[in-house]
Structure 1
Amino acid sequence: MKTAPPSLAGPAILFCPADRPDRYGKALERADCVILDLEDAVAGGRKADARRALQAWTADPANRPVLTADPLRIVVRINAIGSGHYADDVRVLAASGIRAVMLPKVEAVADLDRLAADLPGVAVVALCETALGVARSLEIAQHPAVAAVMWGGEDLTTSLGGTSSRTANGTLRHVFQAARSTVLLNAAAGGKPGIDTVYIDIRDVTGLADEAKDAVASGFAFKACIHPSQADVVRSAFLPSPDELRRARAVMDLVHSGRGVVQFEGGMVDEPVIRQAERIIERGKAAGRPPHVP
């Protein structure tokens, strides 16, 4: 019997360029989970430097507690299969102690099979950011090595032949809303948590907060960030309101009272209500817990 892949710490997941080891610690202080990025955040001429920096950081005994944290606090985004950098990335990670890898531009189960064979036992965050990847996101989510599924808007724009994923006011265009919904639905159908894409405009705090609130209300477990300042905004959005927590705890108190079928505020407390209450309480614990300082 295969065990389920480990879970990620959340809700705020922050990308950090792997060629900037001076930023690793700050990223870990601000976010719940950090994606050390060997792909888009690192220029082609800096890929080798990024691998060396990552290798040195993972070899430092002082960083072992972060590498072994449960839930996972470190993920490495490698370069896509076929990029020309994949094999070098895998070679560095093989003996690094890294336990989770984000694979970009996943388009088929075969991509996941290859990564699982190259890095046995590593949890995979599957990034669906092409038209084909979105279309196949259900079978991708169902792969046993996958720990979470994320959708990406910017590469998807290129895949579709478009020019921008967002309108002038920052909201997602209809086709990207559809892709977002598709990946979230298929992630849930595959029994995996969904990660909402990044909000590019760092200055637009209100837009980020609104999108993060929609993400949690829709069912995303995490939201990705591209700047440390965004992490607290995401964490606040995922934190239930005092009234939500009060209601959830009251529902669970009734459930645990042993009274059988119960009513709460005029409605029946059935299984969906109980599960929602449990998730609100858990979300409150996760979002209200400060990130562990490495």
Structure 2
Amino acid sequence: MTDLPWGPALLFCPGDRPERFGTALDRADAVIIDLEDAVEPSRRPLARQAVLAASETLDPERVIVRVNQAGTPDHDADLAALAATPFRTVMLPKAESVDDLRRLDGVDGAQVIALCETAAGVLAAPALAEAPGVIALMWGAEDLVASLGGTSSRHADGRYRDVARHARSAVLLAAGAAGIGAIDTVHLDIADLDGLAAEVEDAVAVGFAATACIHPGQVETIRAGFRPSEQAVAWAESLLAAAETAGGVFRHEGRMVDGPVIAHARAVLRRSGRTGEPTGS
């Protein structure tokens, strides 16, 4: 898991609802002010004005702005507005090529989250992950299925269909290979906290750095999922203490331990706010 500048719960907020910006930032680890899907096209100029006004009150280190797709008039207008603010973390939706990122050069110091949510975007994930300025990849299920001409990303029981699972893994692998963070997509069923918890548990297990959400009520479920239990922390501390003197492969609590298992233990401690490094280092 590659760390990101924020905690694990990233909350979307419609860009034309500025009265919610502060509350969203208070509730989550970072707020994603959305100028794209959450805003009716006719209200996007108002949303850009709201972002400009919010730059005087919101902590820019914890604000992400999702602009509109590259190549659209709204995209260019979004970037012009952002250039007049201190907000420098930009989420680019429907990213499909490195060329899509070049327009962001007009926002000095932009840090980009490339959102791979079309068939072309998922296939381009490795190139996007290596592009200058990209700090994370995120994937999206619903736009992906729409780009394929489909109608649903999930089975009736809530499980993702295979194409969505493949895209999720492909984006995670591309981010990991480039040494940047991967962000898991939103869980649209707001009331289904058990389903969200299960997805977060899996996201943590495979190495996602954060999970995006669409409602403040989902934040604590995400945080709890990324927070290691006391039992997990105790296991990690015990294993790393044993590793300091064991050397090479060894047995700990009935389990074989080698380099990858030690790395897992260090990851647990990092998520708990500890270094994950041996005490003698």
Asked whether the two chains share a fold, i.e. TM above 0.5, the reply is yes
* Counterpart code for 1:250: S
Cα distance in 1 for partners of 2:108, 2:256 equals 47
Cα distance in 2 for partners of 1:162, 1:8 equals 35
5 Å-filtered alignment, 1:95-174, equals 95-115=84-104, 117-174=105-162
Cα distance in 1 for partners of 2:7, 2:117 equals 21
Deviation at residue 208 of structure 1 after TM alignment? 1.0
TM-score by length of 2: 0.91
Query: Where do 5+ consecutive residues of structure 2 fail to align?
Result: 275-281
Q: Which of 38, 41, 45 is residue 41 of structure 1 equivalent to? A: 38
What is the aligned partner in structure 2 of residue 78 from structure 1?
67
What is the aligned partner in structure 1 of residue 236 from structure 2?
248
Cα distance in 1 for partners of 2:192, 2:255 equals 39
Maintained 8 Å contact 2:66/2:91: yes
Q: Secondary structure at the match of 2:73?
A: coil
Q: Secondary structure at the match of 2:16?
A: coil
5 Å-filtered alignment, 1:143-292, equals 143-255=131-243, 257=244, 260-261=247-248, 263-285=251-273
* Counterpart code for 2:218: Q
What is the aligned partner in structure 1 of residue 81 from structure 2?
92
Cα distance in 2 for partners of 1:274, 1:120 equals 40
5 Å-filtered alignment, 1:42-81, equals 42-58=39-55, 60=56, 62-63=57-58, 66-67=59-60, 69=61, 73-81=62-70
Maintained 8 Å contact 1:8/1:33: no
What is the aligned partner in structure 2 of residue 3 from structure 1?
none
CA-to-aligned-CA distance 1:160-179 (integer Å, 9 cap, x gap) = 10011112222111111111
Aligned length: 271
CA-to-aligned-CA distance 1:26-55 (integer Å, 9 cap, x gap) = 111211111011111111111011011110
Q: Which of 10, 20, 25 is residue 22 of structure 2 equivalent to? A: 25
Maintained 8 Å contact 1:139/1:190: no
Q: Quote the RMSD (CA, aligned, Å).
A: 1.7
Q: Secondary structure at the match of 1:211?
A: helix
Deviation at residue 267 of structure 1 after TM alignment? 4.1
Cα distance in 1 for partners of 2:204, 2:218 equals 15
CA-to-aligned-CA distance 1:163-196 (integer Å, 9 cap, x gap) = 1111222211111111111111111111111111
* Counterpart code for 2:96: E
Maintained 8 Å contact 2:88/2:107: no
Cα distance in 2 for partners of 1:194, 1:259 equals 34
Which structure ranks higher in relative contact order (CA pairs < 8 Å, sequence separation ≥ 6)?
1
What is the aligned partner in structure 2 of residue 292 from structure 1?
none
Cα distance in 2 for partners of 1:254, 1:28 equals 41
Q: Secondary structure at the match of 1:154?
A: helix
What is the aligned partner in structure 1 of residue 4 from structure 2?
7
TM-score by length of 1: 0.87
Maintained 8 Å contact 2:10/2:212: yes
Cα distance in 1 for partners of 2:88, 2:169 equals 28
Q: Secondary structure at the match of 2:272?
A: helix
Q: Secondary structure at the match of 1:175?
A: helix
Deviation at residue 7 of structure 1 after TM alignment? 3.2
Q: Secondary structure at the match of 2:71?
A: coil
